[in-house]
């Protein structure tokens, strides 16, 4: 079970080190605060889970945000009804998201290609519309599901756990209150475990079977191989990762809103995975970080900050620079995002991770012949389409 | 490639070592907790506040207007410009030298009109930038989400444009404050004007956006019109953001109703109102009366977006630059000088909220949130454009006159599309906070 | 009875719009094999063709009157419309009919945009994976949106209907009902006729011209057509331009019904994909049938009588129908096998 190639172990160790040292290396990038680091880590889990489906089987789901939403709603309800402890919340989030994925996957996987994509999209959009309107008694619609001080919390009440005297109750882990950095480190550990699991899946016979389905499903079936249970398992695992990510969103910030299930969120996830590199192990993580970074840091830069930044320039040049740059940051951060998509696809085919590798390989070939066939990072890559 | 098998024990050991080496680092980074007795105490440094508004997505325009209001407020508080409403506000402790003698600074963010993005932005302002107060929004969803977050972190949140009853009702928080009016007040304020204009014998058909805000407004306006003697023929829910409302509009004319009330906001209203007009509703006589359309809450940008359809339509507003009082004039003057156009109600509420917060800190003599909150609660003031106003302590809702406006038949520019036709006095729109439930929660903050 | 008829009209009207938007998308899907996430942005650009034309026609000379000051302290501007001043009544007519005229304006503009996009970017992606096509076209869509936003802002820009076509027509009276039993906005009827006309024109073009024949052959078997020595690539450029034109004119004519803003394309993107896929990949008639089917079902699902039995059905009807159709018919209504299934 726990068999990994040496290369994978090295990748895992490096990956863990990078994740756990985030507060250090994100500092100069202006992103070393718990709120964003938690999002980095959680969306990385989300993207890793999505990659297990999309990267291994080539089935492009456009409805994964629904599982994220289900995970969040389940976790917040667990906070409201049972206990502020995160463990039951996460367990229920994963289970409910898994059941939901089983249902949607069972129907959607009857079709392939774009028909599959549209089926998942339709299920997710239905969930979103209903959560926003008709299901408001459960989801609290527009204003979102929030915890309140007078929620029942049956287990906490039974165990006589003291509700915090001041402020709102805070999610905890075995009595240890989570928030800020502790929340980040808990999520980081979960991410490392998730990454490890995804390595295991990529290297396992199960992963091989999925790749076989991706390269030629018909041939797999002719060999007497029943592909359906494999696909469904991959879909449910992927949905459970999304549920886990949704649960963690609620743990670090106890609110669940319907917007988390909208198609734009699913679309974001697809873009994250593609940007980093479909089918590579670290690609989706890199993609998730990049998009979240742009969304949170670039959007917060205003002309004031630009003026300070370009202060060293002569007045006229400063004004020009600030005017030009202000089109790309603040309210214009979407422009940067769009240009980045285009440039990366054009110049780094296969996404950031694979594209960079190709560049490195080409560079090496120019610098001197080498026998190294593949880069270290792309160990799990299975080829795309 | 050789597959080297490693045992579970060894792997756990490897991971454990890696984790142990890095787990010590949070202690290094969370060490700042000791120096302050509350979240983001500015200490001797300049205080920072965060302006979190939608800058992308469908409500970007309202958000950017609000941001202009905020930036102007910071200028005035810091003593730049002509001072605007700081000169007309009574009572005021603001001196034009910043807050507590320190220059006010600000950071900005983009909420994308999305609750998650709004909370991300607020957390960045609080955790990275050290914001002592966060403000801004254009929907109730954003307001409630940010308000709950700020309450958990112990930072005051001054909401922007939010009209749903929930913000200071079911979801009210000790750390959240709203200057803008709400659906209930719209209903009460518009009713007497409607009776005057359209009589007491009317049959109303409601089209309501199918989410919390739409429902609360439908309920409020329905109660108010039924108290007038109007009959509600039907209330139909329409999906949010559907764009084309034709399938909901066709049954209206044959339903026996002679008034259509559109409980839509923003782009929903920008689409549904012109489409209703295109269906010929305003040319029809039903039950011997002219068929009428009503939009209970307007903004200038919505009116511009609806184009000609808005002419003659009655609705309510929080504030309008054409008001004649000294505060409104001063604000319009200095906003116009800064940006070359008159301010919208979105800019106004942002500006006023910032001034009110700064003033409360000045009166409390400290940034310590519980003291600031007590200074804001039950604060009675005037000269900020809405006449005498009360920040009620029991739900943190401002009570002031509500404007009833009508779409201008002959606008001379895109700035005078709405005309003020009446003001409903404050006493009439006050209600018992208990009707919406909710709980403010404690003064004492959590540590952020 | 009149309620049923009215909803049928609504459904046809919606269906016309859906079909028109889906038509260009399915053309690009079926012939070029490109997943074009920028299709919504092309629709949006079409809307803004109408906006731009109106702004050009209503261009004004501005003279500043420094003696008068506005309440916010700026000098009052006196504006004289230029086109009316030059052309008199004829100019006023042009301004009044700016939306229908903008269709003529949109055709060359969108053709140029479409061809430029295909030559400059899309053609390099025919052989790339669908994932990369999605990424690049989505990027293009965002960039186009941001450019429009920086010129026109984010607020919707309403476009008026020509005076003669405003108000509602008494459709019921035409059918022999009592007066005012069934009225329907004139412009929606115009839009329905317009969409039928464009759909018919596209079908005729594909059916009766050599060009269309070659393209249809290319849709079925690109390699063989290439082997026969036909330059299919050049035709594909024109097809992409044609798809852009159809999306553009659909947008320009839709502006009086839905005030356009820079974001309007994204709101239609998901819907147009659903319509195309429900119709079946690679099938033009499929997209049209699916458009009308979804439009009509959506209208009927929104009737109060239906909503009372199934609350919230109008929120999800489109997706529900899509799911049922795709589960019953593996390739949508009229899809061919092997297209975008892998």
CATH code of the domain in which A51 resides: 1.10.3470
Average of pLDDT values for C302-321?
86
Q: Is B426 a member of any domain?
A: no
- Say whether residue C316 is in contact with chain A using an 8 A CB cutoff: yes
Q: What subunits touch chain C, counting only 3 or more CB pairs under 8 A?
A: A, B
Question: Contact A174/A85 with Cβ under 8 angstroms?
Answer: yes
Final residue belonging to a domain, choices B298, B317, B336: B317
Do residue A17 and residue B14 have CB atoms under 8 angstroms apart? no
Residue located via tokens 């990267």: A55
Average of pLDDT values for B334-347?
91
User: Lowest-pLDDT range, A143-157, A259-273, C245-259?
Assistant: A143-157
Backbone angles phi, psi at B114, to 5 degrees: -135, 130
Do residue A32 and residue B109 have CB atoms under 8 angstroms apart? no
As to burial, measured by CB atoms within 10 angstroms (0-12 exposed, 13-18 middle, 19+ buried), residue A372 is exposed
Average of pLDDT values for C121-143?
88
Quick one: pLDDT at residue B105?
Answer: 92
Do residue B446 and residue A170 have CB atoms under 8 angstroms apart? yes
Average of pLDDT values for C317-332?
90
Q: Is A30 a member of any domain?
A: yes
Longest CA pairwise span in chain A (Å)? 74
Closest Cβ opposite residue B144 in set A36, A143, A299: A143
Final residue belonging to a domain, choices B317, B344, B370: B317
- Say whether residue C342 is in contact with chain A using an 8 A CB cutoff: yes
Average of pLDDT values for B374-397?
92
**B63 with B177, same domain?**
yes
Vertex B68: Cα angle to B63 and B70 (nearest 5): 95
Residue C254 β-bridge partners? none
* pLDDT tens track for A170-185: 887 887 777 778 889 9
Final residue belonging to a domain, choices B296, B317, B338: B317
User: Lowest-pLDDT range, A35-39, B24-28, B297-301?
Assistant: B24-28
Q: Is A373 a member of any domain?
A: no
**B227 with B292, same domain?**
yes
Quick one: pLDDT at residue B362?
Answer: 92
**B344 with B233, same domain?**
no
% helix, strand, coil for chain C, step of 5: 70, 5, 25
Domain that holds residue B86: 3-181+322-400
Q: Nearest CA to C296 among C17, C43, C27?
A: C17
Q: Is A348 a member of any domain?
A: no
The pLDDT confidence band at residue C3, using thresholds 50, 70 and 90, is: confident
**B48 with B7, same domain?**
yes
Residue predicted with more confidence, C149 or A375: C149
Q: Is B188 a member of any domain?
A: yes
Longest CA pairwise span in chain B (Å)? 90
**B147 with B209, same domain?**
no
Cis status of the peptide bond prior to B91, with omega within 30 of 0: yes
Question: Contact B204/B233 with Cβ under 8 angstroms?
Answer: yes
**B43 with B167, same domain?**
yes
Q: Is B424 a member of any domain?
A: no
Pairing type for strands B156-159 and B133-135 reads parallel
- Which residue is closest to C273 within chain A, CA to CA? A118
Q: What is the CATH number of the domain that holds B312?
A: 3.40.50.2300
**B14 with B46, same domain?**
yes
**B176 with B309, same domain?**
no
**Touching A: C residues 142-161, CB under 8 Å:** 142-143, 145-147, 150
Mean per-residue pLDDT of chain C: 87
Closest Cβ opposite residue B211 in set A7, A133, A300: A133
CA distance A159 to A157: 6
As to burial, measured by CB atoms within 10 angstroms (0-12 exposed, 13-18 middle, 19+ buried), residue A375 is middle
Do residue A16 and residue B19 have CB atoms under 8 angstroms apart? yes
In this predicted structure, the answer to whether residue A255 has a pLDDT above a threshold of 70 is yes
**Residues, chain A, total?**
385
As to burial, measured by CB atoms within 10 angstroms (0-12 exposed, 13-18 middle, 19+ buried), residue A309 is middle
The count of C-alpha atoms lying within 13 angstroms of the C-alpha of B281, restricted to the half-sphere facing its C-beta, is 30
In this predicted structure, the answer to whether residue C278 has a pLDDT above a threshold of 80 is yes
The pLDDT confidence band at residue C112, using thresholds 50, 70 and 90, is: very high
CA distance C331 to chain A (A): 7
CA distance B234 to B260: 10
- Say whether residue C73 is in contact with chain B using an 8 A CB cutoff: yes
The pLDDT confidence band at residue B35, using thresholds 50, 70 and 90, is: very low
Average of pLDDT values for A93-121?
92
Domain that holds residue A195: 6-296
Q: Is A209 a member of any domain?
A: yes
Q: Nearest CA to C50 among C198, C206, C258?
A: C258
Do residue B278 and residue C17 have CB atoms under 8 angstroms apart? no
Q: Is B439 a member of any domain?
A: no
CA distance A227 to A222: 10
Total number of domains in chain B: 2
Q: Is A365 a member of any domain?
A: no
Do residue A60 and residue C131 have CB atoms under 8 angstroms apart? yes
**B312 with B327, same domain?**
no
- What torsion do the CA atoms of B361, B364, B369, B374 make, to the nearest 10 degrees? -120
Q: Is B445 a member of any domain?
A: no
Q: Nearest CA to A141 among A152, A153, A128?
A: A128
Q: Is A231 a member of any domain?
A: yes
For residue A39, list chain B residues with Cβ-Cβ distance below 8 A. 120
Helix (H) or strand (E) holding B359: helix B345-364
Helices A64-81 & A113-132 angle (0-180, nearest 10)? 30
Quick one: pLDDT at residue B168?
Answer: 92
Q: What subunits touch chain A, counting only 3 or more CB pairs under 8 A?
A: B, C
Quick one: pLDDT at residue A1?
Answer: 46
End-to-end Cα, chain A, rounded Å: 29
The pLDDT confidence band at residue C70, using thresholds 50, 70 and 90, is: confident
Residue located via tokens 């003696």: C67
Q: Is B361 a member of any domain?
A: yes
Quick one: pLDDT at residue A164?
Answer: 54
Q: Is A323 a member of any domain?
A: no
Instruction: Give the list of residues 6+ apart from residue B10 with CB closer than 8 angstroms, or none.
Output: none
Beta-sheet strand order (sheet of B48-53): B105-110, B48-53, B133-135, B156-159, B176-178
Helix (H) or strand (E) holding B207: strand B203-209
Question: Contact A288/A43 with Cβ under 8 angstroms?
Answer: yes
Total number of domains in chain A: 1
**B200 with B334, same domain?**
no
Q: Is B43 a member of any domain?
A: yes
Look up the ipTM and state it: 0.89
Helix (H) or strand (E) holding B420: strand B418-424
DSSP letter at A178 equals: P
**B21 with B77, same domain?**
yes
**Beta carbons within 10 angstroms of residue B337's beta carbon:** 15
Q: Is A236 a member of any domain?
A: yes
**B265 with B172, same domain?**
no
């Amino acid at each position: 079970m726990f068999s990994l190639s040496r290369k994978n172990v090295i990748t895992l160790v490096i990956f863990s080190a990078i994740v756990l040292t985030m507060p250090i290396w994100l500092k100069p990038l202006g992103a070393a605060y718990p709120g964003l680091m938690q999002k980095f880590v959680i969306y990385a889990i989300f993207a890793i889970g999505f990659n297990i489906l999309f990267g291994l089987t080539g089935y492009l789901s456009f409805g994964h945000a629904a599982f994220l939403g289900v995970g969040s709603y389940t976790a917040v309800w667990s906070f409201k009804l049972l206990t502020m402890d995160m463990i039951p919340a996460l367990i229920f989030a994963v289970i409910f998201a898994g059941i939901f994925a089983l249902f949607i996957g069972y129907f959607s996987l009857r079709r392939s290609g774009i028909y599959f994509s549209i089926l998942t999209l339709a299920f997710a959009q239905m969930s979103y519309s209903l959560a926003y309107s008709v299901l408001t008694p459960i989801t609290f619609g527009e204003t979102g599901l929030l915890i309140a001080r007078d929620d029942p919390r049956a287990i906490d009440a039974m165990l006589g756990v003291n509700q915090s005297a001041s402020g709102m109750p805070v999610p905890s882990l075995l009595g240890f209150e989570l928030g800020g950095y502790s929340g980040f480190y808990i999520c980081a550990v979960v991410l490392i475990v998730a990454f490890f699991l995804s390595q295991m899946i990529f290297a396992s016979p199960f992963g091989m079977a999925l790749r076989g389905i991706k390269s030629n499903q018909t041939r797999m079936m002719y060999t007497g191989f029943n592909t359906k249970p494999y696909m469904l398992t991959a879909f449910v695992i992927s949905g459970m990762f999304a549920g886990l990510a949704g649960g963690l969103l609620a743990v670090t910030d106890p609110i669940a809103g319907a917007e988390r299930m909208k198609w734009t969120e699913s679309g974001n996830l697809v873009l994250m995975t593609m940007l980093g590199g479909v089918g590579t192990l670290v690609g989706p993580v890199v993609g998730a970080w990049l998009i979240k970074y742009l969304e949170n840091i670039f959007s917060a830069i205003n002309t004031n900050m630009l003026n300070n930044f370009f202060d060293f320039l002569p007045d006229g040049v400063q004004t020009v620079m600030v005017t030009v740059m202000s089109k790309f940051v603040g309210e214009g951060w979407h422009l940067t995002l769009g240009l980045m998509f285009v440039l990366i696809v054009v110049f780094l085919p296969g996404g950031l991770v694979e594209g960079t590798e190709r560049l490195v390989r080409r560079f090496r070939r120019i610098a001197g012949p080498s026998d190294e066939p593949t880069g270290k990072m792309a160990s799990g890559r299975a080829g795309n389409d | 490639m050789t597959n080297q098998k490693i045992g579970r024990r060894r792997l756990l050991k490897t991971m454990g070592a890696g984790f142990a080496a890095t787990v010590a680092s949070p202690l290094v980074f969370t060490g700042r907790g000791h120096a302050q007795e509350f979240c983001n105490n500015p200490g001797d440094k300049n205080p920072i506040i965060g302006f979190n508004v939608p800058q992308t997505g469908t409500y970007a325009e309202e958000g950017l207007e609000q941001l202009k209001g905020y930036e102007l407020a910071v200028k005035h508080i810091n003593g730049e410009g002509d001072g605007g409403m700081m000169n007309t506000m009574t009572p005021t402790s603001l001196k034009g030298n910043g807050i507590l003698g320190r220059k006010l600074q600000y950071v900005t963010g983009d909420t994308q009109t999305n609750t998650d993005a709004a909370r991300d932005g607020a957390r960045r302002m609080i955790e990275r930038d050290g914001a002592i107060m966060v403000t801004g929004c254009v929907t109730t969803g954003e307001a409630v989400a940010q308000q709950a977050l700020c309450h958990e972190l112990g930072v005051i949140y001054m909401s922007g444009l939010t009209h749903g009853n929930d913000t200071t009702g079911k979801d009210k928080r000790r750390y959240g404050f709203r200057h803008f009016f709400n659906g209930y007040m719209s209903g009460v304020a518009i009713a007497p004007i409607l009776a005057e204009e359209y009589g007491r014998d009317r049959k109303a058909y409601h089209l309501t956006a199918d989410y919390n805000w739409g429902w609360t407004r439908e309920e409020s306006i329905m109660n108010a019109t039924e108290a007038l003697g109007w009959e509600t023929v039907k209330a139909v829910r329409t999906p949010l953001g559907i764009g084309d409302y034709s399938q909901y509009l066709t049954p209206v004319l044959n339903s026996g109703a002679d008034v259509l009330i559109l409980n839509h906001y923003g782009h929903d209203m920008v689409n549904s109102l012109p489409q209703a007009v295109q269906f010929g509703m305003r040319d029809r006589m039903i039950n011997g009366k002219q068929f009428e359309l009503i939009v209970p809450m307007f903004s200038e940008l919505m009116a511009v977006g609806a184009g000609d359809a808005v002419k003659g339509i009655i609705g309510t507003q929080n504030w309008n630059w054409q008001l004649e009082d000294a505060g409104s004039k001063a604000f319009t003057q200095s906003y116009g000088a800064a940006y070359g156009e008159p301010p919208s109600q979105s800019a106004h509420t942002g500006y006023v909220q910032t001034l009110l917060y700064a003033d409360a800190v000045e009166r409390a003599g400290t940034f310590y949130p519980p003291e600031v909150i007590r200074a804001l609660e039950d604060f009675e003031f005037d000269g900020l454009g809405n006449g005498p106003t009360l920040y009620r302590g029991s739900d943190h809702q401002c009570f002031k006159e509500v404007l009833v406006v009508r779409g201008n038949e002959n606008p001379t520019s895109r700035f005078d599309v709405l005309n003020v036709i009446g003001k409903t006095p404050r006493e009439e729109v006050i209600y018992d906070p208990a009707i919406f439930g909710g709980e403010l929660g404690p003064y004492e903050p959590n540590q952020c | 009875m009149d309620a049923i008829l009215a909803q049928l009209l609504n459904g046809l009207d919606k269906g016309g719009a859906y079909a028109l938007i889906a038509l260009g998308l399915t053309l690009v899907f079926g012939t070029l094999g490109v997943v074009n996430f920028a299709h919504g942005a092309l629709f949006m650009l079409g809307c803004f063709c109408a906006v731009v034309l109106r702004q050009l026609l209503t261009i004004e000379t501005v003279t500043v009157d420094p003696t008068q000051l506005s309440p916010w302290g700026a000098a009052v501007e006196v504006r004289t419309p230029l086109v009316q001043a030059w052309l008199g009544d004829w100019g006023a007519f042009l301004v009044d009919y700016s939306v229908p005229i903008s269709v003529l304006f949109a055709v060359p503009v969108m053709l140029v945009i479409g061809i430029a996009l295909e030559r400059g970017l899309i053609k390099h992606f025919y052989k790339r994976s669908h994932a990369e096509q999605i990424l690049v076209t989505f990027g293009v869509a965002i960039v186009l949106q941001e450019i429009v936003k920086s010129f026109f802002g984010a607020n919707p820009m309403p476009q008026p209907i020509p005076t003669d076509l405003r108000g509602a027509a008494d459709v019921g009276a035409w059918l022999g009902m009592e007066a005012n039993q069934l009225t329907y906005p004139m412009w929606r009827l115009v839009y329905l006729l317009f969409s039928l006309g464009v759909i018919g024109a596209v079908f005729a073009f594909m059916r009766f011209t050599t060009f269309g024949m070659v393209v249809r052959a290319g849709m079925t078997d690109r390699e063989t057509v290439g082997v026969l020595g036909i330059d299919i690539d050049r035709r594909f450029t024109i097809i992409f331009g044609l798809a852009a034109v159809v999306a553009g004119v659909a947008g320009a004519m839709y502006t009086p019904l839905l005030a356009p803003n820079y974001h309007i394309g994204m709101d239609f993107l998901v819907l147009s994909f659903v319509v195309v896929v429900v119709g079946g990949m690679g099938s033009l008639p499929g997209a049209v049938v699916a458009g009308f089917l979804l439009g009509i079902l959506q209208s009927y699902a929104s009737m109060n009588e239906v909503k009372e039995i199934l609350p919230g059905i109008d929120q999800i009807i489109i997706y529900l129908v899509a799911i049922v159709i795709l589960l019953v018919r593996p390739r949508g209504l009229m899809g061919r096998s092997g297209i975008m299934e892998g």
